Structure 1
Amino acid sequence: MSPRDTALAWIAAHEKRFSDFCGRIWEHAEPAWREYKSAADYVELLRAEGFAVEAGSGGMPTAFVATWGQGAPVLAGFSEYDAVPGNSQQVVPYPAPRAGLHPYAAGHTDPHSMLGTASLVAMLGAKAAMEAHGIAGQLKLFGEPAEKVCGSKPIHAAKGYYDGLDAAVVWHPWPSNTVTSDTQFGAYWSCVISFEADQPEHWIDPTLVPIEGAHAGARSPGALDAMCLMYTTTKYTKEAMFPHAGSWTLNEFVLGDGGATSDNLPPRFSQIQYSWRSSSLGIQEQIWRVLANNARHAAGSTGCRAYVRWVTKTRVGVPNQVMTDLTWKNLQAVGAPAYGEAAKEFGREIQRHLGLEAMEDPFIESVSRLTPPEANEARLRAGLPAWQKHLSADDYVEFCWHAPTVRLLAGRPRLRPPSHGFAYPNWAYTALSGLPEAIDPGMFVAAKTMALTYIDLATQPEMLAAAQAEFVSRTGGVGGPGWVGPLLPADFDPPVDLRWPEYVTTPRGEEWCIPTPHQGTGAGEPL
């Protein structure tokens, strides 16, 4: 039996075990920076499989680095396992948030439960083959929390965890089965801007007030007004951040301040998070200049001070055609996922619930066939200007500047629309993402493809050398003249202490960060 056959046989023999593991991560549904149970499950399993595991790597409690083997090459991959607030859903073909929690608790959407498990299985399959056939090399699986805010990978990179890697094989669930080629993902930056009214008594001269008493005077506008002014000013200036060319986005979220008890006092503290993505670091810098200017003016107008806490700064992706070709060859050897009757009937039940006519095959065609990388590239570039080389954002790009990296895409079912432009509700995709019959086919296609790529890189030194030569030609090599280093400093303090949503235990039981209401969302009477 060849090393490739050994890896595939190991994966086939353990499919039920890792289908159950994926389901467990899906049930945890822990959001960014708060994946305590999920990370613990990975660490326990990897240690039992013979990996040396550093838990809490990079100062991040829910990150880890698992290493097996000795010598070269050093081959890397990563698991993600964070869920998304506002997407709580049971595995049923109708909208049903998980019982006992606020309806807007977290749920897996992409799903990262599937992403992380496939990467884990690929590593373990490659390890089994390397052990059985005496193949030299090291395997490193990075546990990467907070992907939804692109959080951990820039931190791991800045702190040197990606130094010395020879190649990285990564993937993402996708509505097609292909490999990313020339057009890679762009940059994602995020920061939390805070306003603090630390000296509101200085807003006016108290001697001007004829009536004594703090409540009689004009109060400082305070932090709430600063945040509102920041929000509205940025809405106005968003049009002037960058020309309407290519694609870039800016999103904002307000973090709760814990100041629910009202009084005739100025709000002392507020925070708003901005996240933006674009195709170049220059555009990212331009957007930040506008945001920083807005924050200074909002603070000055409201009697506050403004502060910034960076959450993340990613670079842009770097293609590697040698790695793309190798992984595509292995994807072809594995074949496209096939979905059985149980998965299809679940999809039909969703359609029936929505009042649609159930389809014989409720899933789009691309999830059950292979799409050549050049065809995927042509589809991506169809709507892009020639100058734009990157699209959207994802933090896998951090690996691209430290070693030749390939990004596999493999099928997770998407429902076939009954007409052009029809959009299924989010709960439908979240429900599908927890159904083993719908998730397992693409998950194990990804795991097998990545495992074969690891084996090829470990047993074909000429292939790895070609990929590394291309890496040097595109980047200048690590530390070279064209290399872009990590954008965060090496002493960066991971933002795990910020008010990210999470599950909490109170005398009332386990709750989401929004207390569990007696009925519905707890929003009250309609206006």
Structure 2
Amino acid sequence: MMKDLEFLEHVIDQKSQMILDANDRIWEYAELAYHETRSADLLCQILKDEGFSVTTGDAGIPTCFTGTFSYGSGKPVMGILGEYDALSSLSQKAASPRKEPVEAGAPGHGCGHSALGTGSLAAVLAVKEYLVENKKDGTIIYFGCPAEEGAGSKQFMARAGMFDNVDFVYTWHPATINAVECNHSNAIMGANFEFKGVSSHAGGSPHLGRSALDAAELMNVGCNYLREHMIPEARIHYAYIDAGGTAPNVVQDHAVIRYEVRSPWVSQVKDLFERVKNVARGASIMTDTTVDCELAMAFTEYIPNNALAAVADECMKEVGTPKWDEDDYAMAREFLNTYPPVTMENIKSQIIEVFGEDRLEEILERPLDSEIHPFNPDKIKLTAGSTDVGDVGYAAPTLNINIATACIGNVGHSWQMVAQTCSPLAHKGLLTAAKVMALACVRTMDRPDVIEAAKKEVTKRNGGHYTCPLPDSVMPPLDTY
């Protein structure tokens, strides 16, 4: 009988062409948050064809789904997360190291979620075959998670109880290094603020108008002053959704501005968000307008589960890194050289920090990560980004791994990332990620002590139950965020 890893690699290699074709098709679809219809349909169809039972429209989101396969008693229950949404305005030709949109202004997979979703798919297919081949009790679930780049879905999924009976969850993200993620991500909360005023002729009767745009502008001024009086780790972001029109001689009677705030912990985010709401109220009073706050998104902070991390770290070492060849290194070098001098200086600093100054020239010449960076629970560091994976981690033991799919130094949410996500670099990376996650599931399911320790970590964090950072009244903002 094949060893565990040998068997899982065999299954994934056998199905690799189907998986890579799915990545490339979802990459071409490049569908935005909550509208990933074709992407979700493709993933669901493959799961059905492979013997999974599929539910759709989960948690009140049309493109949210699960694919489930059980054998024997069905215990333990294992989950793997998949994402498949794209980002706006990042259209780019596949594998091209020159900025060449396929369609100017169209979306693109600038965070690699086509690879994320299909790599996770390959992992669950392998675990399913392992259960059958070895007549092992267990359940493997593919969680189809839309809109990570929008208002998220996993907090709504967790609130709906979708992870309540899951023993552990693995996921991954396309990256530039190979490592169990050793980061504590920020919690985040976001809302649309809609100001309403009174329109009037800006020249003939400005005194009769009440400018909603003025209110939005004053809110920005207030938040700028607020930035001095919050913790250094916090962030406040904004974007105009509706400036109230394009005619300067009409007093704008409406305006919508979106604000998002981040802090290391949900409690801090909620406090900061209330202060931002007070600024909005002040702006409305100053302009004699009204303001409505439509709370639409919030993610809990992500923290690695140390018990799962220890298992996944060993699995990563066993599987190894993507098998790069000289063509891959040449492609990565071309992409790395597209960055401007200021960005390159920052990239060099990052390389020195990770690999050491003595290896700088070596890495610049061959800019693909070819080693496994060990997980150290004592070196978990705060990062400014946010992800709804954090909410899964507060509902069930959850761990994210990073596998290289792009050149070292690559900047996410960029046309370079889009191009590399439909190239041999991402193809090799996503298949490697699948093997790591599948092996981690197989190793964890046979370790009740690990599962128990992982669950104790979650209980220590959540006090015994998951609490969604959004009130029950807030529904997924399918068309408004």
Compute the TM-score of the two structures, normalised by the length of structure 2.
0.86
Q: Where does residue 373 of structure 2 map in the other structure?
A: 371
Contact 1:362–1:416, Cα closer than 8 Å, also in 2: no
Mapped partners of 1:216, 1:257: distance in 2:
20
Asked if residue 458 in structure 1 is aligned to residue 459 in structure 2, the reply is no
Q: Give yes or no for contact 1:191–1:310 (8 Å, CA) kept in 2.
A: yes
The correspondence of residues 226-241 of structure 1 with structure 2, limited to 5 A, is: 226-240=215-229
Distance of aligned partners of 1:317 and 1:266 in 2 relative to their CA distance in 1, 3 Å threshold: same
Task: Give 2:404's match in structure 1, choosing from 411, 426, 430.
Answer: 411
Contact 2:89 2:108 in 1 (8 A): yes
Pair 1:94-2:98 in alignment: yes
Give the whole-Å Cα distance in 2 for the aligned partners of 1:256 and 1:33.
21
* In structure 1, distance between residues paired with 2:207 and 2:409: 59
Residue in 2 that maps onto 1:188 = 188
Aligned to 1:486: 468
| Aligned pairs for 1:458-477 within 5 A | 458-477=445-464
Which residue is 2:348 aligned to? Answer: none
- After superposition, residues 154-169 of structure 1 pair within 5 angstroms as 154-169=155-170
Match of 2:152 in 1: 151
Give how far 1:78 is off. Answer: 1.1
CA deviation profile, 1:92-116 (whole Å, cap 9, x unmatched): 12111113xxx33321122111111
Query: Is 1:82 matched up with 2:85?
Result: yes
Q: Match of 1:254?
A: 240
Q: Give the alignment of 1:352-431 within 5 angstroms.
A: 367-374=369-376, 378=379, 381=381, 392-415=385-408, 426-431=414-419
C-alpha deviation, 1:415, in angstroms: 4.5
Counterpart of 1:93 in structure 2: which amino acid? P
Alpha-carbon displacement from aligned partner over 1:419-474 (angstroms, at most 9, x marks no partner):
xxxx8993333322221x11122211110010011112333334323333444355
Pairs within 5 Å for 1:122-137: 122-137=123-138
Structure 2 residue identity aligned to 1:228: E
1:225 is aligned, of 199, 209, 214, to: 214
Is this contact kept in 2: 1:344–1:361, CA < 8 A? no
Contact 2:176 2:406 in 1 (8 A): yes
Q: CA RMSD in A?
A: 3.0
1:445 match: 432
- The letter of the residue matching 1:196 is K
Give the letter aligned to residue 228 of structure 2: E
Tell me, yes or no, if the aligned pair for 1:219 and 1:266 is still in contact at 8 Å.
Answer: no
Deviation at 1:348, TM superposition (A): 4.0
Is 1:434 the counterpart of 2:422 in the alignment?
yes
Q: Which amino acid letter does the alignment assign opposite residue 156 of structure 1?
A: M
Give the counterpart letter for 1:288 in structure 2: F
1:243 is the counterpart of 2:231 = yes
Secondary structure, in 3 states, of the residue corresponding to 1:310? strand
Per the alignment, residue 346 of structure 1 pairs with 331
Give the letter aligned to residue 460 of structure 1.
R
Q: Runs of 5+ in structure 2 lacking a partner?
A: 342-360
Contact 2:83 2:116 in 1 (8 A): yes
Aligned partners of 1:287, 1:341: CA distance in 2, in Å?
Answer: 50
Contact 2:332–2:368 at 8 Å: present in 1 too? no
Higher mean C-alpha displacement, 83-92 vs 323-332: 83-92
CA distance in 2, matches of 1:416, 1:398: 28
Matches of 1:105 and 1:410 in 2, distance apart? 27
Using the alignment, how far apart are the partners of 2:25 and 2:89 within structure 1?
19
Change in 2 beyond 3 A, CA 1:236/1:124: same
Counterpart residue identity of residue 386, structure 2 = A
**Alpha carbons of 1:290 and 1:491: their partners in 2 closer, same or farther (altered >3 Å)?**
closer
Partner Cα separation in structure 1 for residue 254 and residue 319 of structure 2: 55
Q: Is the 8 A contact 1:215 1:264 kept in 2?
A: no
CA separation of 1:273 and 1:51: change in aligned 2, threshold 3 A: same
1:221/1:144 Cα in 2 relative to 1: closer, same or farther (>3 Å)? Answer: same
What SS is found at the alignment partner of 1:233? Answer: helix
Corresponding residue number in structure 2 for 1:518:
none
The amino acid of 2:235's aligned partner reads: T
One-letter identity of the residue aligned with 2:99: P
Deviation at 1:81, TM superposition (A): 1.2
Which residue is 1:506 aligned to? Answer: none
Paired-residue identity, %: 27
TM normalised by structure 1 equals 0.79
Structure 1 SS opposite 2:369: helix
How many residues were matched structurally?
Answer: 458
Q: In structure 2, what residue type is equivalent to 1:97?
A: P
Q: Distance in 2 between matches of 1:140 and 1:9?
A: 21
Deviation at 1:187?
0.7
Partner of 1:32: 33
- 8 Å CA contact 1:322, 1:467 repeated in 2: yes
Q: CA deviation at 1:190?
A: 1.3
Deviation per residue, 1:198-249 (Å, 9 max, x gap): xx38x9xxxxxxxxxx964633233222222222222232222x133xx222
Deviation at 1:141, TM superposition (A): 1.5
What amino acid is the match of 2:307?
V
Paired residue secondary structure (1:449): helix
Partner of 1:495: 477
Change (3 A) 1:281 1:349: closer
Q: 1:78 to 1:267 in 2, by over 3 A?
A: same
State the alpha-carbon separation in 1 of the partners of residues 220 and 196 from structure 2. Answer: 16
Conserved 8 A contact 1:344-1:362: no
With over 3 angstroms needed to count, the CA separation of the structure-2 counterparts of 1:391 and 1:256, relative to structure 1, is: closer
Matches of 1:352 and 1:315, distance apart in 2: 36
Asked which structure has the greater CA Rg, the reply is: 1
Per-residue CA shift, 1:156-205, capped at 9, x if unaligned? 11122221111111111222111135x532312111111123xx38x9xx
> What are structure 1's unaligned runs of at least 5 residues?
204-213, 382-388, 418-422, 479-483, 501-527
